[in-house]
Amino acid sequence: MRHEPLPPKLHTANRSRLAKLLPPKSIAVLNANDILPTNADGSILMRANSDLFHLTGVEQEETILVIFPDADNEKLREVLFLREPNEHNELWEGHKLRREEAQKLTGIREIKWAQDFPVTFRQLMCEAEHVYINTNEHKRATAEVQTRDDRFVREVRERFPLHDYRRLAPLMHSIRVVKSDAEIRVMQTACDITAMGFKRVLRKTKPGLSESDIEAEFSHEFIRNRARFAYEPIVATGVNACCLHYQTNTDPLKDGQLLLLDVGAAYANYAADMTRTIPVSGKFTRRQRMIYDAVLRVLRVSTARLKPGLLHKEWQKAAEADMTEELLKLGLLKPRDVKKQDPDKPAVKKYFMHGLGHPIGLDVHDVGDLTKPMEAGWVMTVEPGIYIPAEKLAVRLEDTVLVTDNGPVNLMEKIPIEAEAIEAAMR
């Protein structure tokens, strides 16, 4: 792993939270992600399975975690199965975890090699009644590629057809969406590294550079701080910023344009998500500043609304009402547009067409049931925007914010956002 190991008590606490949700005689199984192929003999650098990492801190292929709180043999109530190190795989692929290292990293005492899994699992299944197996149940996930978890679901059902099978994902979502103090500290590190990258970019941005030059400045700061991009960065100048997920990042920066930066660092797999919009020349025009300030006002009031008990759909609706008023002041909407709007297609959607924010954590669009009220410990992004293709400009602003009983805590407080602060830093 590139990052420093997380404290094992974090993973131990997470497993304890999951175990308390399991009914009697229940066994839960989680698998590592596959190493995915590219072309020829190439492969993609492995990305840890977020659920498995949450419970163990392990980022190694072919890893399996079994949790069975009621197992008769106390040693088998938590078992971690690892790919066994040997001279060949370490020569070609690098270091593999030893038992002692895995114990120290995870807090799990019983470490076995992957080849021992079939026999040990059968022994435990003979005691279990309920089997919790995992799949990716994010609402926006695509399922075109069969995962290691998918294969395991098929195989275990074939081998043990008479057990009661249940979904693990809802339980994992419920514990992952509420972040512990230790997780918040890691997310703060990711936000601080993002701040370093952005401040570097403010010093470097000028006409004549390219979007890819700016992406490279973020990359420099992230890598030197043992982080990575939490998602493919969006570095979009001019009309490119009106494409919500623009990722080409090649066009030149021109005087008078705005540059939209949707970039976040991930540290220890925990993500930050930031958007800032800056003037390429170092100073906003009057029109750009009017639009910028309108978006910032919606960001501020939307952030202030974050509190336990808030429903996401109510939060979104309130932000759309605020943005409608801003668009009326800017002349982008007319009163008749609002009066005659279709309730299912409000006029505001012409200029602000996306969601106001989402949970964030081990995944940028993190798991969590948005039909339920927010709780203290949720971390949300807040990201209003105005997009005007006809004027070849867009402004989006985004912070990563912790929900608490005492009001929202902006984890990106150190990152400049006021127009005057942006211009001062660019000077």
Catalytic position from the list 61, 149, 273, 363: 273
Helix/strand/coil percentages in the chain, nearest 5: 40, 20, 40
- The residues, any chain, with a CB within 8 Å of residue 387's CB and separated by 6 or more, are 241, 242, 244, 351, 352, 353, 394, 396
Q: Of these residues, 59, 192, 213, 383, which one is catalytic? A: 383
DSSP tag of 345: B
Of 166, 305, 354, 375, the active-site residue reads 354
Question: Is 351 marked active-site?
Answer: no
Cα-only R_g, the chain: 24
Could you give the residue ranges of the DSSP H alpha helices within 205-281?
211-224
Q: Quote the CA–CA distance of 325 and 319 in Å, as a whole number.
A: 10
- Whether 3 is a known active-site residue: answer no
Sign of dihedral through CA atoms 380, 386, 387, 393? negative
Would residue 322 show up in a list of annotated catalytic residues for this protein?
Answer: no
Single pTM value for the model: 0.96
Whether residue 398 lies in the annotated active site? yes
Backbone angles phi, psi at 38, to 5 degrees: -110, -95
d(CA 302, CA 358): 13
CA–CA distance, 9 with 6 (Å, rounded to integer): 9
Domain ranges of the chain: 8-176, 181-426
* From the candidate CATH numbers 3.70.10.10, 3.90.550.10, 3.40.350.10, 3.20.20.70, the one assigned to the domain spanning 8-176: 3.40.350.10
Beta-carbon-side half-sphere exposure of residue 355 (alpha carbons within 13 Å): 10
Q: Residue 77: left (phi > 0), alpha (psi -120 to 50), or beta?
A: alpha
From the candidates 34, 61, 78, 398, which is the catalytic residue?
Answer: 398
Q: Do residues 130 and 27 make contact, with C-beta atoms less than 8 angstroms apart? A: yes
| 308: nearest Cα among 369, 372, 359 | 372
What gap in Å lies between CA 19 and CA 171, rounded to an integer?
10
- DSSP codes joined into one string, 10-33: HHHHHHHHHHHHSPTTEEEEEEPP
CATH number of 181-426: 3.90.230.10
130 counts as catalytic = no
Catalytic choice (148, 326, 365, 399): 365
Q: Are 46 and 84 within 8 A, CB to CB?
A: no
In order, the DSSP letters of 150-172 are HHHHHHHHHH-TTSEEEESHHHH
Among the listed residues 54, 387, 399, 423, the single catalytic one is 387
Query: Which residues have a Cβ under 8 Å from the Cβ of 126 and sit 6 or more positions away?
Result: none
Name the active-site residue from 17, 396, 399, 423: 396
Residue from 165, 245, 287, 314 carrying the catalytic annotation: 245
Please indicate whether residue 87 is annotated as part of the active site. no
- 220 flagged as catalytic: no
How far apart are the C-alpha atoms of 272 and 140, rounded to whole Å? 19
DSSP H or E stretch at residue 274: strand 274-279
For the question of residue 181 being annotated catalytic, the response is no
Contact (Cβ atoms closer than 8 angstroms) between residue 405 and residue 412:
no
d(CA 406, CA 153): 43
List 358, 366, 399, 423, catalytic entry? 358
Residue 245 is among the residues annotated as catalytic for this protein:
yes
Which of 391, 294, 15, 327 shows the shortest CA–CA distance to 171? 15
Mind listing the pLDDT tens digit of every residue in the chain (427 residues)? 789 999 999 999 999 999 999 999 999 999 999 999 999 999 998 899 999 999 999 999 999 999 999 999 999 999 999 999 999 999 999 999 999 999 999 999 999 999 999 999 999 999 999 999 999 999 888 878 899 999 999 999 999 999 999 999 999 999 999 999 999 999 999 999 999 999 999 999 999 999 999 999 999 999 999 999 999 999 999 999 999 999 999 999 999 999 999 999 999 999 999 999 999 999 999 999 999 999 999 999 999 999 999 999 999 999 999 999 999 999 999 999 999 999 889 999 999 999 999 999 999 999 999 999 999 999 999 999 999 999 999 999 999 999 999 999 999 999 999 999 999 999 9
Residue type present at position 80: L
Active-site pick, 34, 192, 213, 262: 262
